[in-house]
Structure 1
Amino acid sequence: MTMTDAVGRIQQIQSTLTMLAAPARSAAGATSPVGSKAAGSAAAAGPTPAPPATAELFADALAGVTAPVAPDSPATVPGVVPVPVPASGDAARLIEAARSYEGIPYVWGGTDPATGLDCSGFVQRAYADIGIQLPRVTWDQMNAGTHVPSLAEAQPGDLLFSHDGGHVSMYLGGGKAIDAPQPGQTVAVRDMWETDANITTIRRILPAAPAGSASVAPAALPSAASTGTPGSADAAYAAQAAFLASMAR
Protein backbone atom coordinates (compact mmCIF):
# COMPACT_ATOMS: atom_id res chain seq x y z
CA MET A 1 0.00 0.00 0.00
CA THR A 2 1.41 3.39 -0.94
CA MET A 3 1.35 6.51 1.24
CA THR A 4 -1.38 7.96 -1.00
CA ASP A 5 -3.55 4.86 -0.48
CA ALA A 6 -3.10 4.99 3.31
CA VAL A 7 -4.01 8.68 3.54
CA GLY A 8 -6.98 8.12 1.24
CA ARG A 9 -8.27 5.33 3.48
CA ILE A 10 -8.00 7.48 6.58
CA GLN A 11 -10.01 10.19 4.82
CA GLN A 12 -12.63 7.60 3.84
CA ILE A 13 -12.96 6.50 7.46
CA GLN A 14 -13.42 10.11 8.55
CA SER A 15 -16.13 10.59 5.90
CA THR A 16 -17.84 7.40 7.06
CA LEU A 17 -17.93 8.61 10.66
CA THR A 18 -19.52 11.87 9.50
CA MET A 19 -22.19 10.00 7.54
CA LEU A 20 -22.94 7.71 10.48
CA ALA A 21 -23.73 10.72 12.63
CA ALA A 22 -26.51 11.75 10.22
CA PRO A 23 -29.10 9.08 11.27
CA ALA A 24 -28.82 10.21 14.90
CA ARG A 25 -29.52 13.80 13.93
CA SER A 26 -32.44 12.72 11.75
CA ALA A 27 -33.96 10.68 14.61
CA ALA A 28 -33.71 13.70 16.93
CA GLY A 29 -35.47 15.89 14.33
CA ALA A 30 -38.35 13.41 14.11
CA THR A 31 -39.41 14.26 17.72
CA SER A 32 -39.52 18.03 17.13
CA PRO A 33 -42.90 19.88 16.81
CA VAL A 34 -42.34 20.28 13.08
CA GLY A 35 -42.17 16.54 12.62
CA SER A 36 -44.92 15.56 15.09
CA LYS A 37 -47.68 15.24 12.47
CA ALA A 38 -45.55 13.03 10.29
CA ALA A 39 -44.59 10.96 13.32
CA GLY A 40 -48.25 10.47 14.25
CA SER A 41 -49.07 9.31 10.72
CA ALA A 42 -46.22 6.86 10.84
CA ALA A 43 -47.43 5.50 14.20
CA ALA A 44 -50.95 4.98 12.81
CA ALA A 45 -49.54 3.09 9.86
CA GLY A 46 -47.77 0.65 12.17
CA PRO A 47 -44.20 0.11 13.36
CA THR A 48 -41.37 0.51 10.89
CA PRO A 49 -38.23 -1.63 10.92
CA ALA A 50 -35.50 -0.23 13.16
CA PRO A 51 -32.44 1.02 11.27
CA PRO A 52 -29.22 -0.94 11.73
CA ALA A 53 -27.28 -0.08 14.84
CA THR A 54 -24.64 2.59 14.40
CA ALA A 55 -21.93 0.16 15.49
CA GLU A 56 -23.00 -2.29 12.78
CA LEU A 57 -22.99 0.44 10.12
CA PHE A 58 -19.54 1.53 11.19
CA ALA A 59 -18.21 -2.04 11.16
CA ASP A 60 -19.59 -2.64 7.65
CA ALA A 61 -18.23 0.64 6.33
CA LEU A 62 -14.84 0.11 7.95
CA ALA A 63 -14.59 -3.39 6.49
CA GLY A 64 -15.21 -1.98 3.03
CA VAL A 65 -12.71 0.83 3.46
CA THR A 66 -9.94 -1.43 4.77
CA ALA A 67 -10.48 -4.31 2.34
CA PRO A 68 -7.12 -5.66 1.11
CA VAL A 69 -5.77 -4.01 -2.00
CA ALA A 70 -3.51 -5.78 -4.46
CA PRO A 71 0.07 -4.44 -4.42
CA ASP A 72 0.83 -1.82 -7.04
CA SER A 73 2.54 -3.12 -10.12
CA PRO A 74 5.76 -1.39 -11.24
CA ALA A 75 3.77 0.28 -14.02
CA THR A 76 1.47 2.02 -11.52
CA VAL A 77 3.89 3.03 -8.75
CA PRO A 78 4.74 6.73 -9.11
CA GLY A 79 8.40 7.37 -9.92
CA VAL A 80 9.16 3.75 -10.87
CA VAL A 81 10.14 3.20 -14.51
CA PRO A 82 8.91 -0.20 -15.74
CA VAL A 83 11.43 -2.35 -17.60
CA PRO A 84 11.03 -5.81 -19.16
CA VAL A 85 11.65 -8.81 -16.92
CA PRO A 86 14.85 -10.57 -18.10
CA ALA A 87 14.56 -14.24 -18.95
CA SER A 88 18.00 -14.95 -17.46
CA GLY A 89 18.49 -15.16 -13.71
CA ASP A 90 21.95 -13.62 -14.10
CA ALA A 91 20.51 -10.67 -16.02
CA ALA A 92 17.74 -10.20 -13.46
CA ARG A 93 20.27 -9.98 -10.62
CA LEU A 94 22.50 -7.66 -12.63
CA ILE A 95 19.67 -5.26 -13.40
CA GLU A 96 18.53 -5.32 -9.79
CA ALA A 97 22.09 -4.43 -8.75
CA ALA A 98 22.30 -1.66 -11.37
CA ARG A 99 18.98 -0.12 -10.33
CA SER A 100 20.08 -0.04 -6.70
CA TYR A 101 22.38 2.84 -7.74
CA GLU A 102 19.61 4.98 -9.22
CA GLY A 103 19.91 8.53 -7.92
CA ILE A 104 23.69 8.39 -7.37
CA PRO A 105 25.21 11.56 -8.89
CA TYR A 106 27.60 11.44 -11.81
CA VAL A 107 31.18 12.20 -10.78
CA TRP A 108 33.98 11.94 -13.34
CA GLY A 109 36.32 9.12 -12.31
CA GLY A 110 33.90 8.08 -9.56
CA THR A 111 33.87 4.49 -8.32
CA ASP A 112 32.33 4.97 -4.87
CA PRO A 113 28.53 5.30 -4.57
CA ALA A 114 29.02 7.36 -1.42
CA THR A 115 30.59 10.16 -3.47
CA GLY A 116 29.47 9.47 -7.05
CA LEU A 117 29.98 7.25 -10.08
CA ASP A 118 30.96 7.82 -13.69
CA CYS A 119 29.62 5.67 -16.53
CA SER A 120 32.31 2.98 -16.42
CA GLY A 121 32.52 3.07 -12.62
CA PHE A 122 28.77 2.44 -12.48
CA VAL A 123 28.77 -0.64 -14.74
CA GLN A 124 31.92 -1.97 -13.06
CA ARG A 125 30.19 -1.68 -9.70
CA ALA A 126 26.94 -3.31 -10.87
CA TYR A 127 28.77 -6.30 -12.34
CA ALA A 128 30.97 -6.64 -9.25
CA ASP A 129 27.79 -6.92 -7.16
CA ILE A 130 26.97 -10.20 -8.91
CA GLY A 131 30.55 -11.49 -8.79
CA ILE A 132 31.85 -10.44 -12.22
CA GLN A 133 34.94 -8.23 -12.40
CA LEU A 134 35.29 -5.68 -15.21
CA PRO A 135 38.20 -3.38 -16.08
CA ARG A 136 37.95 0.17 -14.79
CA VAL A 137 37.68 2.34 -17.92
CA THR A 138 35.47 2.11 -21.00
CA TRP A 139 38.29 1.51 -23.47
CA ASP A 140 39.27 -1.63 -21.56
CA GLN A 141 35.68 -2.67 -20.90
CA MET A 142 35.11 -2.59 -24.68
CA ASN A 143 37.36 -5.65 -24.96
CA ALA A 144 35.60 -7.67 -22.26
CA GLY A 145 33.08 -10.41 -23.02
CA THR A 146 31.90 -11.12 -26.54
CA HIS A 147 30.80 -8.89 -29.40
CA VAL A 148 27.08 -8.54 -30.21
CA PRO A 149 26.53 -7.60 -33.87
CA SER A 150 23.47 -5.34 -33.48
CA LEU A 151 20.79 -4.02 -31.13
CA ALA A 152 18.37 -6.53 -32.62
CA GLU A 153 20.49 -9.26 -31.00
CA ALA A 154 21.18 -7.42 -27.73
CA GLN A 155 19.95 -8.84 -24.43
CA PRO A 156 19.31 -7.21 -21.05
CA GLY A 157 22.63 -6.65 -19.30
CA ASP A 158 24.66 -6.09 -22.48
CA LEU A 159 26.88 -3.02 -22.50
CA LEU A 160 26.40 -0.32 -25.14
CA PHE A 161 29.51 1.73 -25.96
CA SER A 162 29.16 5.01 -27.84
CA HIS A 163 31.20 8.14 -28.62
CA ASP A 164 34.10 5.97 -29.83
CA GLY A 165 34.18 4.25 -26.45
CA GLY A 166 33.86 7.41 -24.40
CA HIS A 167 30.55 6.36 -22.85
CA VAL A 168 28.95 3.11 -21.71
CA SER A 169 25.38 2.29 -20.73
CA MET A 170 23.59 -0.93 -19.82
CA TYR A 171 20.85 -2.26 -22.09
CA LEU A 172 17.63 -3.19 -20.27
CA GLY A 173 15.44 -4.20 -23.21
CA GLY A 174 12.19 -2.65 -24.38
CA GLY A 175 13.89 0.53 -25.58
CA LYS A 176 15.34 1.28 -22.12
CA ALA A 177 18.88 1.71 -20.84
CA ILE A 178 20.49 2.74 -17.55
CA ASP A 179 23.68 4.74 -17.11
CA ALA A 180 25.54 7.45 -15.24
CA PRO A 181 25.11 10.08 -17.96
CA GLN A 182 27.06 13.30 -17.29
CA PRO A 183 27.86 15.94 -14.64
CA GLY A 184 24.75 17.37 -13.03
CA GLN A 185 22.73 14.20 -13.59
CA THR A 186 22.32 10.92 -11.73
CA VAL A 187 22.24 7.20 -12.49
CA ALA A 188 18.80 6.60 -14.00
CA VAL A 189 16.73 4.43 -16.32
CA ARG A 190 15.96 6.28 -19.55
CA ASP A 191 14.67 5.89 -23.08
CA MET A 192 17.45 4.77 -25.38
CA TRP A 193 19.03 7.26 -27.71
CA GLU A 194 21.54 4.62 -28.85
CA THR A 195 21.11 3.14 -32.32
CA ASP A 196 23.22 0.85 -34.46
CA ALA A 197 24.40 4.00 -36.25
CA ASN A 198 25.90 5.66 -33.17
CA ILE A 199 26.96 2.62 -31.13
CA THR A 200 30.67 1.86 -31.27
CA THR A 201 30.25 -1.71 -30.02
CA ILE A 202 27.94 -3.91 -27.94
CA ARG A 203 29.54 -6.32 -25.49
CA ARG A 204 27.94 -9.28 -23.75
CA ILE A 205 29.59 -9.89 -20.38
CA LEU A 206 27.18 -12.35 -18.77
CA PRO A 207 28.27 -15.97 -19.31
CA ALA A 208 25.98 -18.37 -21.11
CA ALA A 209 24.05 -20.72 -18.84
CA PRO A 210 21.78 -23.73 -19.37
CA ALA A 211 18.09 -22.89 -19.43
CA GLY A 212 16.65 -22.57 -15.95
CA SER A 213 20.01 -22.35 -14.19
CA ALA A 214 22.14 -19.49 -12.94
CA SER A 215 25.83 -19.37 -13.83
CA VAL A 216 26.82 -16.79 -11.23
CA ALA A 217 26.14 -17.23 -7.53
CA PRO A 218 24.04 -14.35 -6.23
CA ALA A 219 25.96 -11.81 -4.19
CA ALA A 220 24.40 -10.15 -1.17
CA LEU A 221 23.51 -6.60 -2.15
CA PRO A 222 24.20 -3.88 0.43
CA SER A 223 20.99 -2.55 1.88
CA ALA A 224 20.08 1.03 1.11
CA ALA A 225 19.83 1.80 4.83
CA SER A 226 23.38 0.58 5.52
CA THR A 227 25.01 2.29 2.54
CA GLY A 228 23.28 5.62 2.91
CA THR A 229 22.31 5.59 -0.78
CA PRO A 230 19.09 7.22 -2.03
CA GLY A 231 17.30 3.90 -1.52
CA SER A 232 17.22 4.72 2.20
CA ALA A 233 14.52 7.28 1.44
CA ASP A 234 12.44 4.48 -0.07
CA ALA A 235 12.77 2.49 3.19
CA ALA A 236 11.60 5.48 5.23
CA TYR A 237 8.71 6.03 2.85
CA ALA A 238 7.66 2.38 3.17
CA ALA A 239 7.80 2.59 6.97
CA GLN A 240 5.56 5.67 6.98
CA ALA A 241 3.10 3.98 4.64
CA ALA A 242 2.98 0.89 6.88
CA PHE A 243 2.33 3.08 9.93
CA LEU A 244 -0.56 4.91 8.28
CA ALA A 245 -1.97 1.64 6.97
CA SER A 246 -2.00 0.21 10.50
CA MET A 247 -3.91 3.27 11.69
CA ALA A 248 -6.50 2.74 8.97
CA ARG A 249 -7.16 -0.85 10.06
Structure 2
Amino acid sequence: MNQRQYPAAVVHGGRTFEHGALEGSAKVLRQTYMLLSATLLFSALMAGVSMALNVPLGISMICSVISIGMLWFVVPRTANSEAGIWVVFAVTGLLGFGLGPVINSYIGRYANGGQIVMLAFGLTGAIFVGLSAYAVKTRKDFSFMRGFLVSGVMLAFVLSIGLLVASMFGFYFQPLALGISAMFALLMVGMILWQTGDIVNGNETNYVLATIGLYVSIYNLFTSLLHLLGFAQGEE
Protein backbone atom coordinates (compact mmCIF):
# COMPACT_ATOMS: atom_id res chain seq x y z
CA MET A 1 0.00 0.00 0.00
CA ASN A 2 1.29 3.41 -0.94
CA GLN A 3 1.57 5.74 1.98
CA ARG A 4 1.12 9.43 1.49
CA GLN A 5 4.31 11.33 2.22
CA TYR A 6 4.00 14.52 4.26
CA PRO A 7 6.71 17.15 4.11
CA ALA A 8 8.92 17.23 7.17
CA ALA A 9 8.57 20.27 9.37
CA VAL A 10 10.39 21.93 12.20
CA VAL A 11 9.17 24.16 14.97
CA HIS A 12 11.04 27.41 15.62
CA GLY A 13 9.96 30.05 18.11
CA GLY A 14 6.49 28.53 18.42
CA ARG A 15 5.96 28.53 14.63
CA THR A 16 6.05 25.54 12.30
CA PHE A 17 8.08 25.67 9.08
CA GLU A 18 8.17 23.03 6.34
CA HIS A 19 11.68 22.08 5.25
CA GLY A 20 10.86 23.11 1.68
CA ALA A 21 9.85 26.58 2.83
CA LEU A 22 12.99 26.87 4.94
CA GLU A 23 15.18 25.87 2.01
CA GLY A 24 13.38 28.33 -0.27
CA SER A 25 13.76 31.26 2.11
CA ALA A 26 17.40 30.33 2.77
CA LYS A 27 18.06 30.41 -0.98
CA VAL A 28 16.45 33.85 -1.38
CA LEU A 29 18.38 35.13 1.64
CA ARG A 30 21.66 33.82 0.21
CA GLN A 31 20.98 35.33 -3.21
CA THR A 32 19.96 38.62 -1.61
CA TYR A 33 23.11 38.90 0.48
CA MET A 34 25.32 38.01 -2.49
CA LEU A 35 23.71 40.65 -4.71
CA LEU A 36 23.62 43.17 -1.86
CA SER A 37 27.35 42.70 -1.21
CA ALA A 38 28.11 43.22 -4.89
CA THR A 39 25.97 46.36 -5.14
CA LEU A 40 27.46 47.84 -1.96
CA LEU A 41 30.96 47.33 -3.36
CA PHE A 42 29.92 48.83 -6.70
CA SER A 43 28.26 51.75 -4.93
CA ALA A 44 31.42 52.36 -2.88
CA LEU A 45 33.49 52.28 -6.08
CA MET A 46 31.23 54.84 -7.75
CA ALA A 47 31.40 57.04 -4.64
CA GLY A 48 35.19 56.86 -4.83
CA VAL A 49 35.13 57.84 -8.51
CA SER A 50 32.92 60.89 -7.86
CA MET A 51 35.11 61.89 -4.92
CA ALA A 52 38.24 61.64 -7.06
CA LEU A 53 36.59 63.73 -9.78
CA ASN A 54 35.45 66.25 -7.15
CA VAL A 55 31.92 66.19 -8.56
CA PRO A 56 29.76 69.19 -7.49
CA LEU A 57 27.36 68.67 -4.60
CA GLY A 58 24.39 69.45 -6.83
CA ILE A 59 24.99 66.18 -8.70
CA SER A 60 23.82 64.32 -5.58
CA MET A 61 20.32 65.73 -5.99
CA ILE A 62 20.23 64.79 -9.68
CA CYS A 63 21.38 61.23 -8.94
CA SER A 64 18.79 60.91 -6.16
CA VAL A 65 15.93 62.10 -8.37
CA ILE A 66 16.86 59.71 -11.18
CA SER A 67 17.25 56.84 -8.71
CA ILE A 68 13.85 57.50 -7.15
CA GLY A 69 12.27 57.48 -10.60
CA MET A 70 13.92 54.14 -11.38
CA LEU A 71 12.85 52.70 -8.03
CA TRP A 72 9.23 53.62 -8.67
CA PHE A 73 8.87 52.85 -12.38
CA VAL A 74 11.71 50.62 -13.60
CA VAL A 75 12.60 48.23 -10.76
CA PRO A 76 9.06 46.78 -10.35
CA ARG A 77 8.81 46.13 -14.10
CA THR A 78 12.14 44.33 -14.37
CA ALA A 79 12.38 42.55 -11.02
CA ASN A 80 11.32 39.19 -12.47
CA SER A 81 13.81 39.25 -15.34
CA GLU A 82 17.57 39.20 -15.77
CA ALA A 83 17.41 42.90 -16.61
CA GLY A 84 16.35 43.53 -13.01
CA ILE A 85 19.88 42.77 -11.80
CA TRP A 86 21.36 45.39 -14.13
CA VAL A 87 18.72 47.90 -13.03
CA VAL A 88 19.71 47.28 -9.40
CA PHE A 89 23.34 48.01 -10.26
CA ALA A 90 22.27 51.14 -12.15
CA VAL A 91 20.27 52.45 -9.17
CA THR A 92 22.92 51.65 -6.57
CA GLY A 93 25.67 53.00 -8.81
CA LEU A 94 23.83 56.30 -9.22
CA LEU A 95 23.22 56.59 -5.49
CA GLY A 96 26.86 55.78 -4.79
CA PHE A 97 28.06 58.34 -7.32
CA GLY A 98 25.80 60.94 -5.73
CA LEU A 99 27.12 60.06 -2.29
CA GLY A 100 30.68 60.99 -3.23
CA PRO A 101 30.12 64.78 -3.17
CA VAL A 102 28.32 64.49 0.16
CA ILE A 103 31.28 62.67 1.71
CA ASN A 104 33.67 65.21 0.21
CA SER A 105 31.65 68.02 1.76
CA TYR A 106 32.03 66.51 5.23
CA ILE A 107 35.75 65.91 4.75
CA GLY A 108 36.21 69.45 3.49
CA ARG A 109 34.02 71.13 6.08
CA TYR A 110 35.17 69.45 9.28
CA ALA A 111 38.70 68.96 10.56
CA ASN A 112 37.68 65.45 11.66
CA GLY A 113 35.49 64.86 8.63
CA GLY A 114 37.21 61.60 7.71
CA GLN A 115 36.62 60.21 11.19
CA ILE A 116 32.94 61.20 11.03
CA VAL A 117 32.51 59.38 7.72
CA MET A 118 34.26 56.24 8.96
CA LEU A 119 32.27 56.26 12.21
CA ALA A 120 29.00 56.56 10.29
CA PHE A 121 30.15 53.74 8.00
CA GLY A 122 31.12 51.52 10.93
CA LEU A 123 27.90 52.15 12.85
CA THR A 124 25.82 51.46 9.74
CA GLY A 125 27.60 48.15 9.15
CA ALA A 126 27.33 47.09 12.79
CA ILE A 127 23.64 47.98 12.99
CA PHE A 128 22.82 46.14 9.77
CA VAL A 129 24.74 43.00 10.73
CA GLY A 130 23.23 42.98 14.22
CA LEU A 131 19.65 43.48 13.04
CA SER A 132 19.99 40.95 10.23
CA ALA A 133 21.49 38.35 12.56
CA TYR A 134 18.65 38.89 15.03
CA ALA A 135 15.97 38.57 12.34
CA VAL A 136 17.55 35.44 10.85
CA LYS A 137 18.13 33.82 14.24
CA THR A 138 14.69 34.45 15.69
CA ARG A 139 12.74 34.18 12.41
CA LYS A 140 10.23 36.62 13.85
CA ASP A 141 7.59 38.09 11.56
CA PHE A 142 7.90 41.87 11.60
CA SER A 143 5.23 42.46 8.95
CA PHE A 144 3.01 44.08 11.60
CA MET A 145 5.39 47.05 11.42
CA ARG A 146 4.78 47.63 7.72
CA GLY A 147 1.96 50.18 7.95
CA PHE A 148 3.76 52.26 10.57
CA LEU A 149 7.08 52.16 8.71
CA VAL A 150 5.64 53.05 5.31
CA SER A 151 3.64 55.93 6.80
CA GLY A 152 6.67 57.12 8.74
CA VAL A 153 8.93 57.07 5.69
CA MET A 154 6.37 59.01 3.65
CA LEU A 155 6.06 61.61 6.41
CA ALA A 156 9.84 61.94 6.77
CA PHE A 157 10.19 62.25 2.99
CA VAL A 158 7.56 64.99 2.81
CA LEU A 159 9.21 66.86 5.69
CA SER A 160 12.62 66.62 4.03
CA ILE A 161 11.21 67.98 0.76
CA GLY A 162 9.57 70.83 2.66
CA LEU A 163 12.84 71.61 4.42
CA LEU A 164 14.69 71.57 1.09
CA VAL A 165 12.22 73.98 -0.48
CA ALA A 166 12.40 76.28 2.56
CA SER A 167 16.20 76.29 2.42
CA MET A 168 16.05 77.40 -1.20
CA PHE A 169 14.32 80.56 0.03
CA GLY A 170 16.88 81.14 2.77
CA PHE A 171 15.03 79.41 5.62
CA TYR A 172 16.83 76.48 7.24
CA PHE A 173 15.71 75.12 10.62
CA GLN A 174 18.53 73.00 12.03
CA PRO A 175 16.49 71.26 14.78
CA LEU A 176 13.97 70.09 12.17
CA ALA A 177 16.77 68.79 9.94
CA LEU A 178 18.25 66.84 12.84
CA GLY A 179 14.82 65.53 13.79
CA ILE A 180 14.23 64.27 10.24
CA SER A 181 17.62 62.52 10.22
CA ALA A 182 16.90 60.88 13.57
CA MET A 183 13.46 59.86 12.31
CA PHE A 184 14.95 58.33 9.16
CA ALA A 185 17.59 56.46 11.16
CA LEU A 186 15.00 54.89 13.46
CA LEU A 187 12.71 54.05 10.57
CA MET A 188 15.54 52.36 8.69
CA VAL A 189 16.24 50.17 11.72
CA GLY A 190 12.64 49.01 11.55
CA MET A 191 12.81 48.61 7.77
CA ILE A 192 15.84 46.31 7.98
CA LEU A 193 14.09 44.13 10.56
CA TRP A 194 10.88 44.01 8.52
CA GLN A 195 12.60 43.36 5.19
CA THR A 196 14.90 40.64 6.57
CA GLY A 197 12.00 39.06 8.44
CA ASP A 198 9.99 38.94 5.22
CA ILE A 199 12.82 37.05 3.49
CA VAL A 200 13.43 34.45 6.20
CA ASN A 201 9.69 33.83 6.61
CA GLY A 202 9.07 33.44 2.89
CA ASN A 203 7.00 36.60 2.48
CA GLU A 204 9.54 38.04 0.04
CA THR A 205 10.61 35.58 -2.66
CA ASN A 206 12.18 37.99 -5.18
CA TYR A 207 15.81 38.56 -4.30
CA VAL A 208 16.07 41.56 -6.64
CA LEU A 209 13.35 43.43 -4.75
CA ALA A 210 14.78 42.22 -1.44
CA THR A 211 18.23 43.51 -2.39
CA ILE A 212 17.09 46.95 -3.50
CA GLY A 213 14.93 47.31 -0.39
CA LEU A 214 17.79 46.51 1.97
CA TYR A 215 20.23 48.67 0.02
CA VAL A 216 17.96 51.73 0.24
CA SER A 217 17.55 51.14 3.99
CA ILE A 218 21.32 50.90 4.47
CA TYR A 219 21.89 53.99 2.30
CA ASN A 220 19.38 56.09 4.24
CA LEU A 221 20.70 54.83 7.56
CA PHE A 222 24.24 55.82 6.59
CA THR A 223 23.32 59.31 5.36
CA SER A 224 21.16 59.93 8.45
CA LEU A 225 23.92 58.86 10.82
CA LEU A 226 26.39 60.96 8.85
CA HIS A 227 24.25 64.06 9.36
CA LEU A 228 23.71 63.37 13.07
CA LEU A 229 27.37 62.62 13.73
CA GLY A 230 28.44 65.66 11.75
CA PHE A 231 26.36 67.84 14.03
CA ALA A 232 27.38 66.07 17.25
CA GLN A 233 31.09 65.56 16.62
CA GLY A 234 31.96 67.97 13.86
CA GLU A 235 34.93 70.21 14.51
CA GLU A 236 35.09 73.20 12.18
Give the TM bin, normalised by the shorter chain: under 0.3
| Larger strand proportion of the pair | 1
Query: Which has more radius of gyration?
Result: 1
- TM-score with structure 1 setting the length: 0.22
